[in-house]
Structure 1
Amino acid sequence: MDTQHDNALAHALAAIPGPVPPSGVIHVAVPHTSRFTVVGNHLAQHAELSLVAIGVGVHIQSLPAGAEVGIKALAARFPEGEVKIARALRELEAHGYLHRTRVRLTTGRVATRTVFCNQPGAVLRGGVAPVVGPAVRSTGPAPAPVREHTRVLEPEAAAVPEEPRPVPEHVLVPEALPAPVRLPARTAPTQPRRPLPHPHALTPELRQTASAFLADLRRHAEELVLSEQDVEELAPGVAAWLERDATLDTIRRTLTADLPKPLKHPARLLRHRLTALLPPPLPGIHALAPPRRAQVTPFQTCDGCERAFRSHHPGHCRDCRDQHWEAA
């Protein structure tokens, strides 16, 4: 089976006219007669687009009109994630190959209208009239499989021209697209980052203890490897914890607990935890004392009518005192 493949490749290379280059790629070009798409070298060999963007652009150009080309649809089709595909679509949009606008349908819903242009330079120059539709492609039966050792590439001149087909009525022309609808931005305002806590008095002894503590963290968590600059910047935050009577073991457990895997920015994580988890100062002795209860006026028995009334001294109630004063 290997000998058959090698013989086929040798015959294909022998049929190439002209000298064979000593290095680099060798093209064995077999003209396509069905199921092909014409792709310009301005896209396939674009100097500024990434390889992912070129591949996504070629794939979109080969799809029929009405196919789903959203981020989630492409991510479900290819192994690349949504982040890479979204970045590739933005590259194509920046270079004029892709146009995405928000339009309002007749039903009132807002949808994304995606238009792919196979020659953005020609459209900008006004040389041709753009038509929204599928790329130049053939819909005949699938060709016979090509042997795995033969790389088949198609030159632009080998494309079989097709008769012009009328544009269906349901296909929109760019001039007929409704005006884009600008939706209000709903992004929440970014909160300003809280500053790193500092002690009231950063003494040399306190700074030395905090710096040594930060440098020793990698013994307890190998992910927390800090540079000298990171240690110098984070030392005031650890000193603020020490000033509030937090022990070194308490600070170490707080900073090393539940570390994310993988940890890309250890200094940022420590800065966040030193700031967001800063404990309050310890309360004083008087703040921890139980509250004093208000003095309650005791009950007394009236010497005249024997009713109970509140007073610090024994005697008569208010009614008996009034009667006594009236009699007097």
Structure 2
Amino acid sequence: MDEKNPSAPACALPATLPTATRSGVGHVRTKLTSGFTIVDNSLLQHGQMSLTAIALSGHIQSLPEGASVSIRALAQRFPEGEVRIAAAMRELERHGYLERRRVRLPNGRVITRTMAYTVPKASPEAAEEPKRRPQPKHRPQPKHRPQSQPAAVVAPGPTSDPDHEPDPDPDPPSGGGAPPPPPSPVREAAPRPPRPARPPVPLPPPAGPAAELLLGLRVQEPRLTLSTRDVERLTPGVDAWFARGATPDAVRRTLTACLPDDLKYPAGILDYRLTSLLPPPLPAAPTPTHLAPHPFQTCDDCDRAFRAPEPGLCRDCREARRGSAA
């Protein structure tokens, strides 16, 4: 067998790989005459957006006018889920490459109109990006004042930008001047003592016939022990039963009958029964149809008492006079 020669030259690179970029990416470009979309390099090389958002913007720009770009339609076509596609669309909106508006049609229907921009729209966030420049690593060296009037050093305060890193301290002066005095220590405010906890104010006991009925339910059924707040909440329901003619025994029998074995929330089941089993109101009392009897009168002939609207003769005396007259 032949021996391995480590000094042998490496294999030749394929002819399609450019010789100038052996360690990086190489491009094999083909001139396209149809079926292509022009995309700005500022989008493809955007340093603030994710690859999902960049690819989604390129896909939307390649679609024809009127194509559906809803989150559901995109999730059905690509393996990414709706959550990831929605986050990418919000990211494109923040950087000005996408705009979604709710538009009402003449027939009253509301639709979402999506506008895709090849060049980012002048949104407030997109306009601030070019203005963000990296802070200089070293601050200019301040001129030293005479020793009689030393310059006051102000400690840098916290910045509002959480991603901003504080600049390093400037290099010490190369001259023979004295270094600036150290900043004065900041006095921390003493923590305030905790306020004493206030005792809870006891609620007044509920009163009235409805409250007494609810409070007495635990005598018949210990599981129906209610709190003061529950009694105050259920009292109007019991009053509604009383207003419709229900007696306390009928209300008590309705609330305590056939309770479940695993009773956990007694106030809830009582509230449900007071609401769903509320009886209808009683019918109105009928008006009396009989008339009051006539007063007693005394007969003029026989002094007999009889009822009549006016004084005169009784029935027998009236018939006797009719017979004598005939």
Identify the TM-score tier after normalising by the shorter chain: 0.3 to 0.5
More helix by share: 1
Q: Which has the larger radius of gyration?
A: 2
The one of the two structures with greater contact order (alpha-carbon pairs below 8 A, sep at least 6) is 1
TM-score (ref. length: structure 1) = 0.34
